[in-house]
Structure 1
Amino acid sequence: MIELKIGGVPEHFNTPWQLLLSSGILEKSGIAPQWTDYHGGTGLLAQALDDDDLDIGILLTEGAVQGIDKGKAFKIFSFYVDSSLTWGIHVPANSSFQNVSALEGKRYAISRFGSGSHLMAIIDAKARGWSTESMQFKVVDDLAGARASFQQGNSDIFFWEKFTTKFLVDNGEFRRVGERKTPFSCFVICVSDKAFKEKNTAVLTTLKALFQQVNDFIESTDKVSIISDFYHLKPADVEDWLKDVSWAPRPHLDPAMLQTTIDTLGELSLINKNLQINHLVGPIEALTKEL
């Protein structure tokens, strides 16, 4: 059996992965998959890929591009979720901030530098015409860290996926004062350079099985209950979320979307503006040939 280390955030986007891993299909192909939840987000996933702690990672597009630009040893093989991600802009429920305009110059809780919570805070500030030079960031590791930071009064604002944090809005711990959608497709599948070299067949077999699972899931009439039960979300919230989410039904790399990501991050001086798309992507032809 070939061990394959796979990881992503513990969020509803990764339901197809969880269904695949519980199906036993990969084991029949001689693959022993090992899934790890990365509560710290994309920055932590990028580091794990670079450290060979992960073979395959599901990363936010902007974080994957930034990680590769910084020299981390992995490549983007395909988009995984084609739709954009809706980030909730949260403040402590008992804070005096009633709208986003009151947040300029305040302290941002972020999971880590390079993660989506960090990058989207900058993208949002830039879009509002705020200075990004003096932004204050407090590294809190994950959602639990953000909750603690709010409770201790160490930060004022926290960006996180809207529906993942909705239970905290519903219970009166967080207050959502705004939203920001990513200007690009939100999740990509990344493979470490070492894994593609040493576990090529296992990687391609796994991704082939994943896209079959994605298509089966898209056609399923039980999507709401499956997601609701696995991720402990309210069925009504899942129904709302599914209206805006679109999983990629096949492996593909959209050059225009990748260029938009490069341009957006380049304008914010978060990556080299001259970064080339071919530096970001793996040999997708190997994957599409297998399929």
Structure 2
Amino acid sequence: MVLRVGYVREHFSSPLLQLSEEDGGKTFTLVECPSGTGQLISRLTDDEIDIAIALTDALITGIAKGSKAYKLVGSFVATPLNWAVITSTSTEFKDITDLQDTTLGISRYGSGSQIMAYVMALQQGWPTDNLKFQINNDIHGLIDSVNDGTTSAFMWEWFTTKPFVDAGKARFIGSVPTPWPSWLIAANPDRAQPAAVSKFLNGLTKYIREFDSKKSREKINIEFIKEKFGYPEEDIKAWLKTVRYPESCSQIPQSVLIDTLGVLEKAGVVTPPSGGFNVNNFISEDVVKLT
């Protein structure tokens, strides 16, 4: 079978794009999901994709809330994601503390932009049961919403948003790094056959190891990201200093699941069942290994 792999076209996806160029559509095709993880999860649920490379917290939240549309099958990025807090250039908001009791923009319910708003609230000591949100679908809708005043701010990955800030369309007022490694890989347990998923993960592992090498980081990665995304070289170099990929895409540290669930519980995003969560229920055991 040819797997349909959902992804967000950002600099993090560079090793995936490199693998796709080599594969040429023989074993998988890419399905771009510009609205982010909420859209990826919807497409997994609606039989539009078989595999999703998506944000750790949102994937874990979905399973914790009972979704049967996917199981975790691997790791993609081993370092935290730095979520920028962004507002309009003309608002009175000076820093994160000014956002309490305002309406925050999110891409979709269940998305990373919503979950990280809960994490931000937890860090600030705000009540998490009365946060107000407005859905704005994607980065363009989110920027429009802060500029027309329907939302106070939104959260999105720092370097993805920086070109809009540099162009004067928005303004940073802070950032909140994730308390967990940022990206995992999920697959529909019925449509995505284990052998096909394992083959995909093995190929991706080869490319992330090459991407993570010193030689690639010094030149090849910079030129690739510049060509594909048009980012300034100084931004690419700054981002490369912050990101690391796992040794193997076919492994997930058990601590990632335990620690992420712990933070999500404290933030009020998920509620554990009697006896607590069993992390083995979150993974496809015939594909991925917990370490």
Determine if contact 2:74/2:288 at 8 Å carries over to the other structure.
no
1:58 to 48, 53, 56: 53
Decide whether the 8 Å contact of 2:52 with 2:187 is kept in 1.
yes
Letter in 2 for 1:70: K
Q: 1:278 aligns with which of 261, 265, 280?
A: 280
Structure 1, unpaired ranges of 5+: none
Asked if the contact 2:15–2:207 (Cα under 8 Å) also holds between the matched residues in 1, the reply is yes
The secondary structure found in structure 2 opposite 1:233 is coil
Residues 251, 288 of structure 2: 8 Å contact kept = no
Q: How far apart, in 2, do the equivalents of 1:269 and 1:134 lie? A: 11
> Cα distance, 1:235 vs. partner?
1.0
Deviations 1:19-58 (A, max 9, x none): 000113762xxx2x22111111111111211222111101
Question: Could you tell me how far 1:287 is from its partner in structure 2?
Answer: 5.3
Q: In structure 2, what is the equivalent of residue 74 of structure 1?
A: 70
Secondary structure of 2:14's counterpart equals helix
Residue 202 of structure 1, aligned match among 196, 206, 212:
196
The answer on whether the counterparts of 1:224 and 1:235 sit within 8 Å (CA) in structure 2 is yes
- Per-residue CA distance 1:130-177 (angstroms, 9 max, x = gap): 122221100001101112212322111110000000011111111101
Q: In structure 1, how many angstroms separate the alpha carbons of the residues matched to 2:25 and 2:33?
A: 22
- Aligned to 1:165, the other structure's residue is in SS state helix
> Of residues 227, 230, 244 in structure 2, which corresponds to 1:229?
227
Letter of the aligned partner of 1:232 in structure 2? G
Distance in 2 between residues matched to 1:281 and 1:94, nearest whole Å: 45
Answering whether residue 180 of structure 2 is matched by residue 166 of structure 1, we say: no
Match of 2:205 in 1: 211
> In 1, distance between residues paired with 2:184 and 2:23?
24
1:47 aligns with 2:49: no
Number of aligned residue pairs: give it: 280
2:261 maps to 262
TM-score by length of 1: 0.92
| Contact 2:118-2:269 at 8 Å conserved across structures | no
Counterpart Cα distance in 2 of 1:212 and 1:109: 37
The letter of the residue matching 1:252 is Q
Q: Please name the residue that 1:239 is paired with.
A: 237
Aligned to 1:12: 11
Q: Assess if the C-alpha contact under 8 Å between 2:252 and 2:288 holds in 1.
A: no
Partner of 1:99: 95
Q: Which amino acid aligns with 1:157?
A: A
Deviation at 1:69, TM superposition (A): 1.8
1:59-208 aligned within 5 A: 59-72=54-67, 73-196=69-192, 199-208=193-202
Q: Tell me how large the CA RMSD over aligned residues is.
A: 1.5
Q: TM-score, normalised by structure 2?
A: 0.92
Counterpart CA distance in 2 for 1:240 and 1:23 is: 27
Sequence identity (%): 29
The one-letter code matched in structure 1 to 2:257 is L
- Retained in 1: the 8 A contact 2:128–2:268? no
CA distance in 2, matches of 1:77, 1:69: 16
